[in-house]
Amino acid sequence: MKIKNLATNLKHIAIGLVLFSSAILSAQQTSGDVSKQADIDPGTTTTAGAVRVIDNKGTIKYLQAKNGITMLSNTTNDVTTTTWQLGGTLTDSTSIDVNGNVFGLNGLELISTETPSTDATTESDGGTGTGYTILVRDEETGAVKKLLATDLIQSGQEAFTATAAQTAYALTGSPVLPNFSQVWVYRNGAKLVANTDYTVAASTVTLIENDYSIYAGDVVEVQFIK
């Protein structure tokens, strides 16, 4: 009787954990059958598999986890204990609909002087790179992705020595220049007026000889930030 009651209690706890996990992860599979995994052999370690339980009517049932939930079966002492816990590999595309509620994380570390990553790669695991990247959201798909901090804010400066009547100045490396409000052009230290004294297209600044002429030896400086 005690064994049966213990199994029933474990079943209820396990179901509660699975339901709680489902609410958090909102797995994309919301209908249909899920294939039964192999039975867990008590006393062995596994992060997957089916746990067999018996309800109070003697019916044999199975509990299992998937899609980002890790299940661990004990190997010593309480060998009949199986634990469900957050963390694992997503097997299905997963979205969380906050439905107007707040979704937050407490206890996060505040950093201020750490350096941005220079060796981040796509789909990398923790411990395979250095520095920090920034998490961003793809507005088209809702997917969470990462962005190099150096790609979030870019700036540049380049100076040119003009030839007579030279109007076009292409920046080294072909950076895509932002709007006029983020591009500053100077001729011999004097600031030119955006869209009046110069225009911007792609990575090239073009001067417009508006009440001035460009002479050989003029120093044209371009600064930008985006």
Tens-place pLDDT, residues 30-54? 678 888 888 888 777 777 888 888 8
User: What is the reported pLDDT for 193?
Assistant: 94
pLDDT of residue 74: 85
Task: Give pLDDT, residue 158.
Answer: 95
Radius of gyration of the chain (CA): 31
Given CA atoms 121, 65, 143, 106 in this order, what sign does their dihedral have?
A: negative
- Ranges of the chain whose pLDDT falls below 50: 1-27
Tokens of 33: 């059958």
Question: Where do the structural domains in the chain lie, given as residue ranges?
Answer: 2-86, 110-149, 155-225
The pLDDT of residue 7 is 40
Residue 64 is predicted with a pLDDT of: 87
Pairwise CA distance, residues 94 & 67, whole Å: 8
219 contacts: CB under 8 Å, gap ≥ 6: 159, 160, 161, 162, 187, 188, 189
Q: What is the mean pLDDT of the chain?
A: 83
Q: What is the pLDDT, as a whole number, of residue 29?
A: 65
Confidence at residue 28, expressed as pLDDT on a 0 to 100 scale = 58
pLDDT score of 154:
81
Q: 128-145 pLDDT, tens per residue? A: 888 888 999 999 988 899
Q: Which residues contact 155 (CB under 8 A, 6 or more apart)?
A: 223, 224, 225, 226
